[in-house]
Amino acid sequence: MNTQTQFRVLVATAVEAEKEAVLRGLGNDPRFDVIAAGVGPVAAAVGATKALAAAPYGLVVIAGIAGGFAEQAAIGSLVVASEIIAADLGAETPDGFCSLDELGFGSARIAVDLARAERLAEALAAAGLSARLGPVLTLSTVTGTAETAAALAKRVPGAAAEAMEGFGIAAAALDRGVPVLELRAVSNAVGPRDRAAWRIGDALQALQSASKVLQEVL
C-alpha cells in the first residue's frame, strides 16, 4: 500500500556505501533526502541535527548495516527497531552495569513510531524478505567478545541488533519532535570479532531491497 506521504523523510546512514544502497532502493522519489551522517552516535547526531535544521521533515529513518544477535537476527536479514537503546550509556559498578535511567540522568531509550515500524516489518515480510521487529542497541564500541554479547543480551532481553548511530540520530529527531524509525540489515553476528566474516555486500543488498519496500509503504 502506498499512501503517498506528503511530508519529507530524512534517511540517515553512517557511511556512503549505505547511503548509495538506500538511494538505489528508493529510486528517484523526491519525498526522501538521504545523508551519510558519519560513524558513531556523536557524528551521526551532529549530521542529523544539521539536516533537521535545514529542512522540515515529518519522519527520520535511521538506516544501515548492523550486527545481529544470535538466535534473533541472521546475517542478511533485516531488523526494524521496536525501540532504540543506548546500551552502553551509564556506569559500570562492582554490581554490574547501571543505565542512565537507573542513575537518574534521563533515559537511554527512545521510542520509535511503533505503528509505522510494525507496518514496515510486515511489508518487508510480505515482500519475501527476512525481517523482524525488535530492540536495536546503539553502542560506541562494536562488540568483539562472546562475553560482551551475552551481557548485552541479558541487559536487553530480545535485543535483535546492534549498531552505532541510532540513539544519536533519534535524539536529534526527538529534539525536533520528529518521529523516528530504525531499519538495519545484518552484516555480521554480534560476538567475537571476525571482520573478514562480515557479509557487507549481502547486507547492502538487503538494505537496498528494504529501501524499496520503505518507499512503497510510506
Ligand X SMILES: O=C(O)c1cccc(C(=O)CC[C@H]2O[C@@H](n3cnc4c(=O)[nH]cnc43)[C@H](O)[C@@H]2O)c1
Binding site for ligand X (CB under 6 A): 14-15, 17-18, 39, 64-67, 139, 142-143, 162-165, 187-188, 190, 200
Contacts of 11 (CB under 8 A, 6+ apart): 22, 26, 32, 33, 34, 35, 60, 61, 62, 63, 211
The residue (of 66 and 123) whose beta carbon lies closer to ligand X is: 66
Rounded to 5 degrees, φ, ψ at 162 are -130, 145
Q: Which is nearer to ligand X, 123 or 187 (CB)?
A: 187
Q: Burial, 17: exposed, middle or buried (Cβ in 10 Å; 0-12, 13-18, 19+)?
A: middle
- Considering the complex, state which of residue 12 and residue 117 has its C-beta at the smaller distance from ligand X: 12
Where helices occur in the chain by DSSP H, the ranges are 16-26, 41-54, 100-103, 114-126, 146-155, 166-176, 200-217
Residue 29 carries which side chain, given as an amino acid letter? D
Nearer to ligand X, 42 or 126 (CB): 42
Let me know how long the chain is. Answer: 218
Give the nearer residue to ligand X in terms of CB position, either 123 or 134: 134
CA-to-CA distance for 215 and 218, rounded, in angstroms? 6
User: Comparing C-alpha atoms, which of 162, 108, 102, 105 is closest to residue 135?
Assistant: 162
Residue nearest ligand X by beta-carbon distance? 67
* Distance (Å, whole) CA 84 – CA 162: 10
Min separation Cβ 169 and ligand X, Å: 10
Residue 81 C-beta: closest distance to ligand X, Å:
12
* Least distance from ligand X to the Cβ atom of residue 30, Å: 25
Least gap, CB of 38 to ligand X (angstroms): 8
Closest approach, Cβ 22 to ligand X, in A, equals 11
